[in-house]
Structure 1
Amino acid sequence: MLQFAVLNAALFGLVLSLTTCVCELTPVPVTQPCVTALAEDHGSLLRGLWMQHIRDRLRGNAPPPVRVYSKQKLLYCRVGIGFHIQIVQDGSVGGVHTPTEDSVMKVFAMQQGVVGIKGVKSGLYLCMDEEGITRGVEQFSDACLFKENLEANHYTTYSSLSHPGFYLALSNRGELKRGNVVSRNQACTHFLPRDDEL
């Protein structure tokens, strides 16, 4: 009788262990009663939100992206005397030494290491086209996605996800530079996200 009880306990433990492994390895909808599914996987959540955004775009109905982990920042470029990037109402992008309301950006994560940038005052998204020109636009698209990379000098670079090797950059005079004529090693592409102090 004791051996039978021990065998039952061992079998129950094996079944429980297998069930846990299946829950961890199999994508389970949130509605299913799996204990592991209740521990929200942020990576899966962001991928799901991004796929929903793509589906909406294919249907011709692209809402603004879900702002997950969004923060208001000033993006300071260390080139020249130092400039804060800004998006003005007409969509033009440039830099100013002393930050203004047009310099306040909302940086929001779309997936790990990929962000969108929106001017708080202008309401425009920062986008880069196939010619490396950056501008502010009303409609969010793939061109508005940037890879956020922390460099060895602790500055951050923003490269176009749609156009690899194209970087957000300002000149020594604070003017916008084309993203396809600069590299991540140049100071003009190095930004320091600073808390909004305005």
Structure 2
Amino acid sequence: MCKWNSSAELTSIGSAHPGLPLRPCTLFLRLACLFLLFLTGTALGGCPNGLGHDPLHLLARGTNCSWTLERHTRSYNHLEGDVRLRRLYSANKFFLCIDKTGKVDGTRRKNYPDSLMEIRSVSVGVVAIKSVSTGLYLAMSKKGTLFGSARYNPSCKFKERIEENGYNTYASLRWKHGGRQMFVSLNGRGKPRRGHKARRRHPSTHFLPMLPT
């Protein structure tokens, strides 16, 4: 990677040592770096402060445009609106389901209709979970109770995170308890636990999003 941090290095291409011509290989390398810098600036949309895409102008100003590449590699907006049909299978071997009354529960029945969920990305790292058969959204109350909501609202937003063991956790985006996150959780009997009683490392909070069969 080639960098020029000051105008002094730029002038070495031309007039700094008029009596000492550059070697052909050195001149070629510098011109190649200038060309690559120009292509990078063009592909990434340019640099701030109206500097444009002229690599000679950028070098003369000693400008470092690495921020542009970093900005683009951290942009995940294309994930918003992504929709997946999955069954959330807990580490306790239950499928999360929402019945027509809004009751959240766990079932061991693999193809139970109420367990098929539509998981939609509503923002980066945040999802809404909806039962396909009942049309109800998974929601969490201020007290950490899980229920099915007929309307999508801020209580239906969950932060989705892939844990080190490959399972996903789902924490309420809206509510916390004593500054701690509250998680979607099914206990060893398949019953929902209050969000404030669950912790990220508890198996009861770990779910595998499984493709429907």
TM-score (norm 2): 0.62
Does the 8 A contact of 2:128 with 2:157 survive in 1?
A: yes
SS at match of 1:110: strand
Change (3 A) 1:44 1:104: closer
Counterparts of 1:71-150 in structure 2, within 5 Å, are 71-79=84-92, 82-99=93-110, 100-150=112-162
Structure 1, residues 101-138: CA drift from partner, whole Å, max 9, x if none?
A: 00000000011110000000000000001100010011
CA distance, structure 2, for counterparts of residue 175 and residue 125 of structure 1: 18
- Give 1:73 shift: 0.2
Letter of the 1:196 counterpart: P
Does the 8 A contact of 2:79 with 2:124 survive in 1?
A: no
Is structure 2 residue 212 aligned with structure 1 residue 184? no
- Give 1:20 shift: 3.5
Structure 2 alignment gaps of length 5 or more: 1-37, 51-74
SS at match of 1:172: coil
Does the 8 A contact of 2:76 with 2:124 survive in 1?
A: no
| CA RMSD after TM alignment | 2.3
Q: What is the aligned length?
A: 143
CA distance, structure 2, for counterparts of residue 98 and residue 45 of structure 1: 31
Counterparts of 1:1-198 in structure 2, within 5 Å, are 20-21=46-47, 43=77, 46=80, 68-79=81-92, 82-99=93-110, 100-164=112-176, 165-197=181-213
Letter of the 2:210 counterpart: R
CA distance, structure 1, for counterparts of residue 47 and residue 200 of structure 2: 42
Identity of aligned residues (%): 33
Between structure 1 and structure 2, the one with the greater Rg is 2
Structure 1 alignment gaps of length 5 or more: 1-12, 25-40, 47-67
